[in-house]
Structure 1
Amino acid sequence: MHYHFRQVATLVWLLVCVLPSAALAKVPVFVSIFPQRYFVEQVGGEHVDVQVMVLPGASPTTYEPKSRQMAAIAKAKIYFSMGVPFEAVWLEKIVASNKSLRVVPMDRGIQKRAMASFHSHEEKEQHDGGRTISHNAGETIQHAIPDPHVWLSPPLVILQARTILVALQDIDPENGSAYETNFRTFILQVLELDKELRRLLKPHHGQRFMVFHPAWGYFADTYHLEQIPVEMEGKTPKPAQLKALITNARKHRIKVLFLQPQASAKIAEQVAKEIGAQVAWADPLALDWAENLRAVAEKFRQAMESAK
């Protein structure tokens, strides 16, 4: 009896000692935005501990890390960047706080599209070398600023998942086979999601939708749609620009305007009311990436169907 008791006591003691060390063995990872956390957790599984820099409701354009985040990042091994604007200011400071931190651009190897902006009438813009160009009325043009929203296209997420796999295997080779297995499982899920979205959106090829902030360009490109942004190069449109935008939206019979939680709803709701479109919430930074894309595609389909 005493022998069995000693065995149980020894086992309990071992569990108490081993479990905390197992938890500490997880690879500490930082990412910029929540969709990246989704991807890293899909590939890393139980072997990673992922923290997100841009907190819920905040904008990746203007975000400033909290002091507790800077303290936590001093212990991280990998930072997966994404090319979002706040990184241009903060990434160098983040690296300075942890000299051993490995920064891995998750968007590595992806040919980026330019950010879209609607131009309302004959507008002249200064470009490099003093060159000026004019834009036709009601034209959505591409600017030289790279569009960072590559996480909103499933085919591009496959490339990002490969980058995650290579980085995790390199820093934690002992769990390399587990990462490979997780990666393959995740890719199958992404391919299935892509197939589902193509089937859902195929009847609506060529259709346009409005967005307040032009975050959905890669999504639109992938599924043969076109986004028309309300923002003018990141700024709220002036009255004359807004009038032309509304005229253009009526011309193309746009029936849905996607608004993200990080943006102001006032202008978007005004535009939607003027053109008779639905306002639908679409958060490009949602954590549940797969379900979010399904929801956005379904909202678009419903808006198109109700307009018939």
Structure 2
Amino acid sequence: MKFWNHSLTALSLSVMLVAAGCGSNTSSEGNNSAGNNSSSTSTEASATVEATKKLEIRTSFYPMYEFTRHVAGDLANVENLVPAGTEPHDWEPTAQDMAAITDADVLVYSGGGMESWAEQVLDSATGSGLKAIEASQGIELMDGAEEGHEHGEESHEESEHAHEHAHEDEGHTHDEGAHEAEEHTHDEHGHEAENHAESGHHHDHGGLDPHVWLSPALAIQEVRNIEKGLSEAAPEYKDQFKANADAYVAELETLDKDFAAALKDSKRKDFITQHAAFGYLAKQYGLTQVPIAGLSPDQEPSPSRMADIVKFAKEHNVKTIFFETLVSSKVADTIANEIGAKSAVLNPIEGLSEEELADGLDYIKVMRQNLEALKAALNE
């Protein structure tokens, strides 16, 4: 019995050791298997990251940033070049900005002469692989000197007289062809190519109104141009860009309908604004813009122009003079004081201030503020 007990004990110990050995081997195989799975998962994750590498996009100023970020969604890093609170008409890129543009995959700009620096930047970026998207491509641009001659349901000879003085002050001369937007073609970097080879130079947009984004209907065209350009830059995301653009366009279409409905039966159709930024909006909704100054917001009107505006305002019982953000309201305030009117903001949305951004404002919200301001002024 003692031997049996010893033998049983030895056998039990052997079984335990074998079991332990098997357990050790199983554990080792499990660890190896886990290691292989981890390696496989890591490889797949890297492949996924590579497959969804985000586009690096630079935009010229706020509306282009706003439109682009809605189309790109989370498929791109979108950065705006013009800082918040900065008036973009006279902004020029620094060497650092130039480097940021050249290093990017895509540059989105509105065109039409808004970004005076664009041609130089694109020339400098030749060979970098930069894709340039001109958002206003295909939109018929208005002659800035002729703004205000397109009247709605009412016609005012005095308004036309005031605009004629504006033409003389701005010193613009245009041939008949200046009233039509030039058809653009682009090379692989998005540079404009001269359609008329015999002229041998790029078309000069000087004197044409670039403020197309202030018409919701034309903003839709800009969004579609951005969608098209991004789809060319990253065709693998074409469906996502379209879905994003469709969603944003639906909001812009609602905005367009709201403007049309709210302004259709206004008591008056003309409004005085600090600079000629609202020509496309006025034309879209049957209104007449009467600008104090020209296309540039910091342009100083001549004394004769000021006198014409005061005369027009008195004869038409204008009670609101519109000024804008980002530039001084001195000129608008002077006229308002002269005729006993008030001044109010009509925002050209060329850039938002830090405060406006902090308050969560965006293109559509500011456009709705503009609509409320116009409704009030046109029904006083």
Indicate the TM-score class for this superposition, using the shorter chain for normalisation. 0.7 to 0.9
Distance of aligned partners of 1:205 and 1:183 in 2 relative to their CA distance in 1, 3 Å threshold: farther
Q: Do the aligned residues in 1 keep the contact of 2:166 with 2:294 (CA within 8 Å)? A: no
Which AA in structure 1 matches 2:102? A
* 1:150 CA drift (Å): 0.6
Structure 2 residue matching 1:246: 3-state secondary structure? helix
Aligned match of 2:53: 25
CA deviations on 1:93-143 (whole Å, 9 max, x unpaired) are 3441463112221101100111138344996968469xxxxxxxxxxxxx9
State the number of aligned residues. Answer: 289
Distance of aligned partners of 1:260 and 1:172 in 2 relative to their CA distance in 1, 3 Å threshold: same
Aligned match of 1:154: 216
Taking the aligned partners of 1:19 and 1:58, their CA distance within structure 2 comes to 41
Question: After alignment, is 101-110 or 71-80 more displaced?
Answer: 71-80
Percentage of pairs with the same residue: 27
Aligned match of 2:190: none
Aligned match of 2:288: 226
Structure-to-structure mapping, 1:98-137, within 5 angstroms: 99=127, 100-115=129-144, 116=147, 118-120=163-165, 127=173
Distance of aligned partners of 1:268 and 1:32 in 2 relative to their CA distance in 1, 3 Å threshold: same
Aligned match of 1:296: 370
Structure 2 residue matching 1:107: 3-state secondary structure? coil
Taking the aligned partners of 1:151 and 1:122, their CA distance within structure 2 comes to 23
Q: Do the aligned residues in 2 keep the contact of 1:81 with 1:105 (CA within 8 Å)? A: yes
Structure 1 residue matching 2:132: 3-state secondary structure? strand
Q: TM-score, normalised by structure 2?
A: 0.67
1:241 aligned onto 2:305: yes
Q: Do the aligned residues in 2 keep the contact of 1:114 with 1:146 (CA within 8 Å)? A: yes
Question: After alignment, is 113-122 or 177-186 more displaced?
Answer: 113-122
Question: After alignment, is 159-168 or 56-65 more displaced?
Answer: 56-65
Q: Do the aligned residues in 2 keep the contact of 1:60 with 1:84 (CA within 8 Å)? A: no
Taking the aligned partners of 2:132 and 2:347, their CA distance within structure 1 comes to 26
Structure-to-structure mapping, 1:260-275, within 5 angstroms: 260-275=324-339
* 1:35 CA drift (Å): 0.8
Aligned match of 1:185: 247
Distance of aligned partners of 1:208 and 1:19 in 2 relative to their CA distance in 1, 3 Å threshold: farther
Larger Rg: 2
Q: Do the aligned residues in 2 keep the contact of 1:121 with 1:244 (CA within 8 Å)? A: no
1:208 aligned onto 2:266: no
Q: Do the aligned residues in 1 keep the contact of 2:267 with 2:378 (CA within 8 Å)? A: no
Distance of aligned partners of 1:294 and 1:113 in 2 relative to their CA distance in 1, 3 Å threshold: same
Pairing partner for 1:166 from 203, 223, 228: 228
1:53 aligned onto 2:71: no
Distance of aligned partners of 1:123 and 1:24 in 2 relative to their CA distance in 1, 3 Å threshold: same
Structure that is richer in strand per residue: 1
* 1:21 CA drift (Å): 4.6
Aligned match of 1:69: 97
Distance of aligned partners of 1:121 and 1:127 in 2 relative to their CA distance in 1, 3 Å threshold: closer
* 1:237 CA drift (Å): 1.7
1:253 aligned onto 2:317: yes
Question: After alignment, is 167-176 or 145-154 more displaced?
Answer: 167-176
Distance of aligned partners of 1:233 and 1:28 in 2 relative to their CA distance in 1, 3 Å threshold: closer
Distance of aligned partners of 1:122 and 1:303 in 2 relative to their CA distance in 1, 3 Å threshold: closer
Structure 2 residue matching 1:200: 3-state secondary structure? helix
Which AA in structure 2 matches 1:45? G
Aligned match of 2:106: 78
Distance of aligned partners of 1:31 and 1:239 in 2 relative to their CA distance in 1, 3 Å threshold: same
Distance of aligned partners of 1:128 and 1:97 in 2 relative to their CA distance in 1, 3 Å threshold: closer
Distance of aligned partners of 1:191 and 1:64 in 2 relative to their CA distance in 1, 3 Å threshold: same
Structure-to-structure mapping, 1:77-96, within 5 angstroms: 77-83=105-111, 85=113, 87-96=115-124
Distance of aligned partners of 1:84 and 1:108 in 2 relative to their CA distance in 1, 3 Å threshold: closer
Question: After alignment, is 152-161 or 81-90 more displaced?
Answer: 81-90
Distance of aligned partners of 1:108 and 1:120 in 2 relative to their CA distance in 1, 3 Å threshold: closer
Q: TM-score, normalised by structure 1?
A: 0.81
CA deviations on 1:266-297 (whole Å, 9 max, x unpaired) are 11111112223332223322461111111001
Aligned match of 1:281: 345
Q: Do the aligned residues in 2 keep the contact of 1:256 with 1:300 (CA within 8 Å)? A: no
Which AA in structure 1 matches 2:85? G
Question: After alignment, is 79-88 or 253-262 more displaced?
Answer: 79-88
Distance of aligned partners of 1:97 and 1:148 in 2 relative to their CA distance in 1, 3 Å threshold: same
Q: Do the aligned residues in 2 keep the contact of 1:28 with 1:77 (CA within 8 Å)? A: yes
Q: Do the aligned residues in 2 keep the contact of 1:31 with 1:52 (CA within 8 Å)? A: yes
